[in-house]
Structure 1
């Protein structure tokens, strides 16, 4: 896993696996999942990192979507 932060864009990217991104989907405001050809989440983009609170990061509703999509 690799985490990058772009200060100018105020965005973070979490790369979970190497692979070509085939599809992307915004699963919550400012949270974008990138999928490979097998529908596996290869990366997660978080927009507006500086404006987010710890409470927002604790909210995991968007993870339920990822689990159901991969089921």
Structure 2
């Protein structure tokens, strides 16, 4: 998984796995979901991220056990 924040474009991108994106859908305004050929979610993007999400410049990652 890769998480990237581009401050110049103000886009937060979460890539769940490397796969060819076949379809993209704007689920809600500014929330773009990318799917592979089987319909599985590959990535998501949040446009205007600093306005729509808190703490875009840092990431906390936890694995539930």
Runs of 4+ in 1 over 4 A off after TM superposition: none
Q: Which runs of 5+ in 1 are unaligned?
A: 55-71
Alignment pair present for 1:19 and 2:16: no
Higher fraction of helix = 1
Structure 1, residues 44-68: CA drift from partner, whole Å, max 9, x if none? 00000111255xxxxxxxxxxxxxx
Q: Which runs of 5+ in 2 are unaligned?
A: 55-65
The match for 1:58 is: none
Q: What is the alpha-carbon distance in structure 1 between the residues aligned to residue 51 and residue 41 of structure 2? A: 25
Q: What is the alpha-carbon distance in structure 1 between the residues aligned to residue 38 and residue 13 of structure 2? A: 20
RMSD over aligned Cα, in angstroms?
1.1
Query: What is the TM-score when the length of structure 1 is the normalising length?
Result: 0.71
The match for 2:44 is: 44
Query: What is the TM-score when the length of structure 2 is the normalising length?
Result: 0.77
Q: What is the alpha-carbon distance in structure 1 between the residues aligned to residue 5 and residue 51 of structure 2? A: 14
